[in-house]
Every structure is written in C-alpha cells, then in structure tokens.
Amino acid sequence: MKKISKVILTLILLLPLALYGRHNELGIFYGWSYYLGDLNPSRQFAMAQLAFGGMYRFNVDEHKAVRLGGFYGSVEADDAIIGYNKNRNLHFRSTIAEISIQGEINFLRFQPGNPDTFHTPYIFAGLGGFMFNPQARCDDGKWHDLQPLGTEGQKSDLYPEREPYNLYALSYLFGIGYKFNISRHLSGGLEWGMRRTTTDYLDDVSTTYPDPETLPGLAQQLSDRSLNGKDNTDMMRGNPNRNDWYSFAGFILTFKLPSWARIYCPAME
C-alpha cells in the first residue's frame, strides 16, 4: 500500500505541471487487455478482453511527453484453452484497474494539431499501480474470489511462510506506439504496452500444491483440479521465480486543450 500511495502522490504533484503546459491533450483509450503468467507463459493476446481508459498528456517539446493515465480491463486464462498444462486444469479471471505515469520519446518531430509534424512512432516507459482480484468458477458454475480462500495454503498453520497476497501491486510499463494528427484539435494513435508486475498472484497461482487436508471444502476444490486425480501435495502448481505480466493494446484519440498560460497571460499571445 505504501508503494501504491507513492505512485498516487507523484501523479497529484505532476498535475500543476500538466495544467499549465502549452500543448496539453486529453484522451481516451479503447482496446484489449490480456495476461502472461503461470497459465499462459508466452501466447500474446491469448483470451484478450475489451479494455478502456483515459489520459492527460503534457508535451514537453516536439520529441518528449509526459502522460498520466488510468486504464480498466480484465484478464483471464484457462489451462484447457491455452494448453500449456492441460492436466493442471486451472483457470481464472480478474479485473485490472490501473493508474500510471509514463514518459514518451517521439522518433520524429511531433506537435498535436500541427500539419507540419503529421506523425511519429514513439516508445514509452513508466510506473503504475493497479488493483486486481482473481476469481475462479467452481463446479456449480458460480465465480468465487480466490484470495480469501488461500488456495496455496496461505491460511494454514502448516505453511506459515505463505501469507495472503495483496490485491494491490506495482507495474513497470513499457511499449511502442504510433501517433498522428487528424485535425487542428484531434490526434489519433495506436499503442501496445506491456506491464511487468510485482506480484506472482495475478492468477492466484505461484508455488506448490498444499496438503488438501489443510484446506476448507471450496478452497480444496479450487486449489487442485488436476485431471489425473492424484495427490499433488508439494508438487509444483506454478513458477514462483517469475512474476506475472499484463498488457493493454489498442486505439487512442486525444483532443488538444487550449493553453491555460495563454488564457491567463495575454503577454504570451
């Protein structure tokens, strides 16, 4: 929570800088979100879900920009569909609510609304904080929150080192994009950004199977759904050495805002 609070405080402190810039943009995002982790180690865009967001971009100059953003989407994966470990037979879904700050570097000169700087590819990197809540469906078809259940023995005295994971985490984001001017006030773009998270429990899967006798009924059902029917106690359920990732990719539409400095300082005209 302390790390998330620092991210929020940083965003608040940067707002005055954004408000008094001369080339600010307010924008919306619409696209897809997806996940990479223990249930999907490598398949890009597998089981992608619709996502949306908003942003405020401060253009420092023609080659640099700083952006504050908020994104919302969902991620999911299923061993039966992804096929990486079908016998494990686990699945999950989770919403993602993210706030972030990032820096952008344009490869070409670019000013929003300027026909002389029509387009540019760009790269970006930054830091975000996000909330998540993994769920799984039990045999009766109902979805249940997994974190309170302790499916890897987090609530058992037999595994005191396994504390319940936090539903808030940080993400280190980076990616590529392409922006272009549509009119004097509108710009468009395409963007694909990856997020490396500080948690391995975005999917509720990280380490070994606990002893099923230490789990209550529902947790036991959702902890081990393996098709072989064997006792998998202490066998690997996930990979604890690699944290989970998620991604947002899609379309951006921004509107160039009037300069506050010009409005309040006629000498700048």
Q: What pLDDT is attached to residue 13?
A: 54
Q: Summarize the confidence of residues 253-261 as an average pLDDT.
A: 80
Q: What pLDDT is attached to residue 23?
A: 75
Q: What pLDDT is attached to residue 140?
A: 84
Q: Indicate the pLDDT class of residue 109, thresholds 50, 70 and 90.
A: very high
pLDDT, one tens digit per residue, over 26-37 is 999 999 999 999
pLDDT, one tens digit per residue, over 62-94 is 999 999 999 999 999 999 999 999 999 999 999
Q: Indicate the pLDDT class of residue 155, thresholds 50, 70 and 90.
A: confident
Q: Indicate the pLDDT class of residue 139, thresholds 50, 70 and 90.
A: confident
Please determine, for residue 96, whether its predicted confidence score (pLDDT) is greater than 60.
yes
Q: What pLDDT is attached to residue 263?
A: 46
Beta-sheet strands, E only, within the chain: 24-36, 49-59, 64-78, 91-106, 119-132, 135-137, 143-145, 168-181, 186-197, 245-256
For the chain, how many helices (H) and strands (E)?
4, 10
More confident of the two residues 156 and 198: 198
Q: How far apart are CA 167 and CA 145, in angstroms?
A: 11
Q: What pLDDT is attached to residue 5?
A: 55
Domain residues for the domain of 119 are 2-268
Plot region of 20 (φ>0 → left; ψ -120 to 50 → alpha; else → beta): alpha
**pTM for this model (two decimals):** 0.87
Q: What pLDDT is attached to residue 166?
A: 97
Q: Summarize the confidence of residues 231-256 as an average pLDDT.
A: 96
* Residue 198's CATH number: 2.40.160.20
Query: What total of structural domains would you count in the chain?
Result: 1
Q: 102, 167, 132, 123: which is closest to 35 by C-alpha?
A: 132
